[in-house]
């Protein structure tokens, strides 16, 4: 989407793995059962590729518990990042509901309460995120980010650096318009610079 320079850019932001520390919460759930795991040990998006069958079952059961999404911790820099991004862009949250949780969507709405209006939260599976037109996407799944770039030929995707999206990950894809960012503040800096360059072109 190529918006006029007098408009705020539209930025789509993934939730789990970008703003919310879903993997960290799952690892704490595993550790509480005696299966000590850390996020650094999760090398793929699909838990089954990093964990044993028993651990995967525990991980999915943990995510399915009522209010898991409501009490998910934010990444340390995520709240400040979101607040600053909303000052310079029209932000839409793209988040995938977890089918095994009966409360996930309501929990997610409460999680964003006071920070994002419900109308600015779009619930969709990862494979459908590519349909959402925006100027920028901030994502932690490289395949989703690359698919989005394919469907948004003028868009730019920022891949937030996580252990599970490195080149060795099963879901890894690269794209010429996908930029890896070591943290969220760096993604915000890139967006501000890119918007300024477009405005002066």
Any idea what the CATH number is for the domain that residue 118 is in? 3.40.50.1000
Domain coverage including residue 107: 10-22+71-200
Residues 157 and 177 in one domain: yes
Residues 38 and 82 in one domain: no
Residues 158 and 78 in one domain: yes
Q: What is the pLDDT of residue 83?
A: 96
Residues 6+ apart with CB under 8 A from 158: 136, 137, 138, 139, 145, 178, 179, 180, 181, 187, 190, 191
Judge whether 2 lies within some domain: no
Element (H or E) spanning 58, and its range?
helix 53-64
Total domain count for the chain?
Answer: 2
Q: What is the pLDDT of residue 170?
A: 95
Q: What is the pLDDT of residue 201?
A: 66
Judge whether 40 lies within some domain: yes
Residues 173 and 92 in one domain: yes
Q: What is the pLDDT of residue 197?
A: 80
Give every residue of the chain whose pLDDT is below 50, as ranges: 1-2
Residues 34 and 115 in one domain: no
Q: Calculate the CA dihedral of residues 25, 144, 177, 12 and round it to 10 degrees.
A: -70
Residue where the block lists tokens 């999915």? 60
Q: How many CA atoms lie within 13 A of 167 on its CB side?
A: 2
Q: What is the pLDDT of residue 125?
A: 84
Residues 118 and 32 in one domain: no
Strand order in the sheet with 136-139: 121-123, 90-95, 10-14, 136-139, 156-160, 178-181
Length of the chain (residues):
201
What ranges make up the beta strands (E) of the chain? 10-14, 90-95, 121-123, 136-139, 156-160, 178-181
Residues 133 and 60 in one domain: no
Identify the three-state secondary structure at position 178. Answer: strand
Query: How do residues 18-50 score in pLDDT, each as one tens digit?
Result: 999 999 999 999 999 999 999 999 999 999 999
Residues 102 and 176 in one domain: yes
Residues 167 and 99 in one domain: yes
Residues 6+ apart with CB under 8 A from 14: 93, 94, 95, 129, 137, 138, 139, 140, 141, 144
Residues 45 and 134 in one domain: no
């Amino acid at each position: 989407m190529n918006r006029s320079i007098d408009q705020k850019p539209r930025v789509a932001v993934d939730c789990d793995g970008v703003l919310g520390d879903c993997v960290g919460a799952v690892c704490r759930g595993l550790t509480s059962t005696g299966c000590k795991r850390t996020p650094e040990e999760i090398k793929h998006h699909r838990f089954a590729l990093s964990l044993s069958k028993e651990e995967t079952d525990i991980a999915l059961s943990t995510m399915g518990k009522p209010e898991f999404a409501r009490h998910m911790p934010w990444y340390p820099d995520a709240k400040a990042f979101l607040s600053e991004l909303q000052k310079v862009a029209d932000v839409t949250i793209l988040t995938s509901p977890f089918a095994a949780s009966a409360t996930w969507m309501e929990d997610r709405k409460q999680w964003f309460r006071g920070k994002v209006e419900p109308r600015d939260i779009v619930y969709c599976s990862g494979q459908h995120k590519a349909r959402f037109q925006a100027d920028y996407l901030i994502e932690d799944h490289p395949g989703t980010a690359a698919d989005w770039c394919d469907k948004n030929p003028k868009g730019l995707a920022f891949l937030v650096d996580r252990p599970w999206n490195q080149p060795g990950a099963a879901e890894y894809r690269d794209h010429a318009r996908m930029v890896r960012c070591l943290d969220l503040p760096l993604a915000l800096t890139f967006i501000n610079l890119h918007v300024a360059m477009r405005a002066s072109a």
